[in-house]
Structure 1
Amino acid sequence: MVSRRPFYIVVALLFIFGLGLMIYRHMAFDVPWLPGEYRQIWSVEAKVEFDADDQPVLASLAIPATQPGFTLVDESAASPGYGLSFVDKNGTTRAEWSIRNAKGHQELYYRVDMMSDPYARSAPATVPTIEKAIEKEPFATAMSQLLARAQERSADAYTLTREILKEFSNQNQNAELLRGHKSRAQLVVDMLNQADIPARVVRALTMEDGRRRQNLTDYIQVFQGDSYDLFDPNTGLQGRPERLMLWEYNSQPLLDVTGGSKSRVTYSIIQKQVAVAKALSAKFEHTNMLNFSVDTLPVEEQALFKGILLIPIGVLVVVFLRVIVGLKTSGTFMPVLIAIAFLQTNLVVGLLGFLSIVGVGLVIRSWLSRLNLLLVSRISAVIITVIGIICMLSMLTYKLGLSEGMRITFFPMIILSWTIERMSILWEEEGPKQVVKQGGGSLLVAVLAYLAMNSGLIQHLTFNFLGLQLIIMAAVLVMGNYTGYRISELKRFKPLADELKK
């Protein structure tokens, strides 16, 4: 007797691997289990204002990218009369507006949509070069004394940063002297560089719904090895606050305007909810992560695979109804193809179209059988007949104002032709009862497959979780191993069961 252990091992591996892929996709890419969920999108608009000097203008603005906590899903700009380009400079992207001549007050707009995403990851941050600034007296001495006191109470880069910020909060003479020299964030960075610790000032924005004309806030980015942490120069708190988005983080100017003066940038923020399908589609379009998903394909191919990935669901329904329930169908997987056609039309129009085509086709096929034609010629004639019937039904429904009827062309013509041929032979050999039985079984299976494939939950799972295909395969293999009684056979054996009970 052949051992069934390898079979059960393969089934278990398919199920475990498929389930693992689904869980990984849910955890790594934040794909929800249920459709209809929404994601939080922060829409930030940067308003650039300056006075043009009646000459060529070039304005360059630092713009954000995907970072921990936020995924960039969309960006746009409004700049009437200006040319706009997104230029990559030194590994960072900037928005650049240009115009041959401009005069007077100018306003340019840049908008970015960032999705709140706890799984978002950015490219590894580049460690800034250490630049030791040469200060004039008495500022150099004040900074040196303040740094020396902080170093006595520190052990690494992070603790030194905290101690320097504490020295500024102590309101001593050196701190008071330095207060008007530079911003506190830049002073801390200069002192950290003097201690051979890489650090820089970054500009950040706190996400608050409905805020207008906001300015960026300075934060200190301190590196310790390959990792870094953020420090608030005003409060001394360490770590990235919730809803804090870094806007400029590469030690570059926030706004650089050539040909203009009195430039400034203000920010307005609004929160909105976007359907998860749209948000994830935009997320995967911009991500560089390892993502084996249909979402990474062009939209045209995504639409194609959205239908193809539903076919295993129809196959599962057919296998269950034929193997477990015991329904008879005309053709093994013809009901799946009919169910796909139902998806393109709708259930009522699809049923009427199918019955009309098969009914008229059977009448014409019965006439062809009297001509004693060869099989190839007879099938060819049936195919041409089916095409003619479909054309006539499409034109008739169009004249009646029923646009759904024109979608009857989605029916698989070759399969319908073979179905008509097989039903005709079955009629001649076993009578109309078997034709009704198998035809009715095919329609019932097609309707049930359509209901399963038309479910929003099923469509969401098959499209977003490719691991589900492996689970379906495992289920099909398990049902293929079933050799017991069909459910439809229980009625036939009921008298025997009643007799055994007595």
Structure 2
Amino acid sequence: MTRLPFYLIVALLLVAGIAMSVHRHVQFEVPWTPGEQRQVWEIEAQVNFRADGGPAKVEMALPSTQRGFRVLTEHTASPGYGLNYLEEDGARRALWSVRDAQGNQQLYYSAQILVAPQARANDVPPPTPDPNVVWEPPYDTAAQEVIDHAWSRSANPFTFARQLINDFSDERQGENARLLLTQFDRGPLLLRLLDQAGVPAREVSGLLLENGRRRQTLTSWIQVYDGNDSALFDPATGDQGRPDNLLMWENAGRSVLEVQGGTNSRVSFSMISRSQPAAAAVRSQLAEDAGTLLNFSIHSLPLEEQALFQTILLIPIGALVVVLLRVLIGIKTSGTFMPVLIALAFIQTTLLTGLVGFLLVVAVGLVIRNYLSYLNLLLVARVTAVIITVIAIISLFSVLSFRLGLNAGLQITFFPMIILSWTIERMSILWEEEGPKEVLIQGGGSLLTAVLAYLAMNNPWIRHITFNFLGVQLILMALILMLGNYTGYRLLELRRFKPVTEDD
């Protein structure tokens, strides 16, 4: 029978698991290792204005996820005001409104911004240039001469914009440029010239991030489009490119702050930078995008269920350890996956406490089970008696530990009592049929497997990977399927060939 379907299934599981994990890392920036730190900026915008004594409406631009930055959380403080968030063409704004406002007013907006190199901006459509710009004489002639001069020395919209800005620099200003600057501010003037030249452009506002700065204002930039590409220009220097510490606050070409029903409005910014674990920094993003298939995340569950799944998702790791030891090495265990459950108990009790508790319970249970064998009970009744005995042993050890001040002994209650009972029953039967040597072999193998499974499952990196990358479960499934197809010799079986080597 062909094995092609089997290999296709294994390959599909591997590809799907790796793709899901890589997508999660790239799209949501979930780190591969625990303990990674990410830079987060806490920014506060303070809006001040003097109300006229009647209804007031305040509209302010808000930052959005963009290249290099992602908005994690945002809050406002505006007592007595109604608040709505607006979004249009990829631009976000906050709208405060109140029926009656008198005197000085203060509104606050704060946001946590994650430095995220993989983040991408929302698409904002480029503006449509209006070449029918109206100038009054003699500014119309001066504007056309400035445009012609820059146009002849450029090759595309970006080089034209850079040449145009440079023509207004202090070192290169001509008579036409000086004349235009007497009537217009530099930013609006550049936009009018770009419009007349048919170059799509808009004025945007950004915040230069500097740790610990207070009462900062936004800076203006010119965004020029060449088809689907765009470039940012400093209108003062003509420098092209976006600084790494520039957070675009308003990117739709609209005003940053609009106030109706008030005067003397202004907005200032304060900021501070701090580091926090990467997992915590992206947790809110994971919870928001948990609805789609590739972005499926248990972070959307309540914290209690998340803690439960953090343990459940470790079980396949323990199962893989069992498969490796039994299929490739040939270690015998008392029960197939009993060591995995014991390893889970070790995670709760710590390794040393778990080992001592496990040995004590099994040793005492074997003694009592040996006595029960003389009563000739039926199997169900005998196992039930062993279960009650295990509960009694665990209760007794817990009380004695507490009386002696050994609080670690109280954690012995985490052991799976039913599994311990069946382990004692199986070892007792094995003792009667195969002798104590086989009991030691299988009991020691079970304990060794449980310890190795515990070390694998309790590894911080493995706990992080299994909890944050569900695609790992598909990879584990593929590995186990491949191991299940192994039909060669086990490592411990090679001892049978030792006499052959001695004869040689």
Give your verdict on TM over 0.5.
yes
Task: Specify the alignment match of 1:34 in structure 2.
Answer: 33
The one-character-per-residue Cα deviations of 1:233-276 (angstroms, maximum 9, x if unpaired) are 11222232322210011233312334443222222333322222
Q: CA deviation at 1:37?
A: 2.1
Task: Specify the alignment match of 2:357 in structure 1.
Answer: 353
Residues 61-460 of structure 1: pairs in structure 2 closer than 5 A: 61-79=60-78, 81-83=79-81, 85=83, 87-90=85-88, 91-97=90-96, 103-130=102-129, 134-169=134-169, 170-285=172-287, 291-292=294-295, 294=297, 297-298=300-301, 300=303, 301-387=305-391, 389-390=393-394, 393=397, 397=401, 405-460=409-464
The one-character-per-residue Cα deviations of 1:396-437 (angstroms, maximum 9, x if unpaired) are 656666665554444333323322322232233223333333
Q: CA deviation at 1:307?
A: 2.1
Q: CA deviation at 1:31?
A: 4.0
Residues 287 and 297 in structure 2, CA contact (< 8 A), matched pair in contact too = no
Q: CA deviation at 1:47?
A: 2.6
Judge which range, 182-191 or 442-451, deviates more. 182-191
Change (3 A) 1:252 1:372: farther
Q: CA deviation at 1:199?
A: 2.2
> How far apart are the structure 2 equivalents of 1:234 and 1:41?
29
Judge which range, 477-486 or 445-454, deviates more. 477-486
> How far apart are the structure 1 equivalents of 2:410 and 2:138?
87
> How far apart are the structure 2 equivalents of 1:55 and 1:124?
38
Give the AA of the match of 1:119.
Q
Residues 72 and 283 in structure 1, CA contact (< 8 A), matched pair in contact too = no
Select which of 467, 480, 497 maps to 2:501: 497
Q: CA deviation at 1:440?
A: 2.3
Judge which range, 206-215 or 367-376, deviates more. 367-376
Change (3 A) 1:9 1:99: closer
Change (3 A) 1:234 1:17: same
Q: CA deviation at 1:286?
A: 5.3
Change (3 A) 1:388 1:210: same
- Give the secondary structure class of the aligned counterpart of 2:168: helix
> How far apart are the structure 2 equivalents of 1:102 and 1:414?
70
- Give the secondary structure class of the aligned counterpart of 2:252: coil
> How far apart are the structure 2 equivalents of 1:178 and 1:397?
89
TM-score by length of 1: 0.85
Q: CA deviation at 1:168?
A: 2.4
Judge which range, 424-433 or 16-25, deviates more. 16-25
Change (3 A) 1:285 1:14: closer
> How far apart are the structure 1 equivalents of 2:406 and 2:92?
52
Q: CA deviation at 1:203?
A: 0.2
Change (3 A) 1:457 1:159: same
The one-character-per-residue Cα deviations of 1:10-35 (angstroms, maximum 9, x if unpaired) are 65665566455555554554444433
Task: Specify the alignment match of 1:43 in structure 2.
Answer: 42
- Give the secondary structure class of the aligned counterpart of 2:357: helix
> How far apart are the structure 2 equivalents of 1:479 and 1:104?
76
> How far apart are the structure 2 equivalents of 1:433 and 1:472?
34
> How far apart are the structure 2 equivalents of 1:295 and 1:181?
60
> How far apart are the structure 1 equivalents of 2:413 and 2:96?
51
Residues 314 and 452 in structure 1, CA contact (< 8 A), matched pair in contact too = yes
> How far apart are the structure 1 equivalents of 2:22 and 2:129?
44
> How far apart are the structure 2 equivalents of 1:367 and 1:295?
49
**Number of residue pairs the alignment of both structures matches:** 498
Q: CA deviation at 1:197?
A: 3.7
1:487 aligns with 2:486: no
Q: CA deviation at 1:395?
A: 5.6
Change (3 A) 1:144 1:306: same
Give the AA of the match of 1:428.
E
The one-character-per-residue Cα deviations of 1:340-380 (angstroms, maximum 9, x if unpaired) are 12212322232233334434444444454444443334434
Q: CA deviation at 1:480?
A: 3.4
Change (3 A) 1:382 1:30: same
Residues 84 and 95 in structure 1, CA contact (< 8 A), matched pair in contact too = no
> How far apart are the structure 2 equivalents of 1:53 and 1:20?
59
Percent sequence identity is 52
> How far apart are the structure 1 equivalents of 2:144 and 2:483?
79
- Give the secondary structure class of the aligned counterpart of 1:424: helix
Q: CA deviation at 1:439?
A: 2.0
Judge which range, 89-98 or 237-246, deviates more. 89-98
> How far apart are the structure 2 equivalents of 1:53 and 1:460?
56
Residues 213 and 266 in structure 1, CA contact (< 8 A), matched pair in contact too = yes
> How far apart are the structure 2 equivalents of 1:14 and 1:190?
58
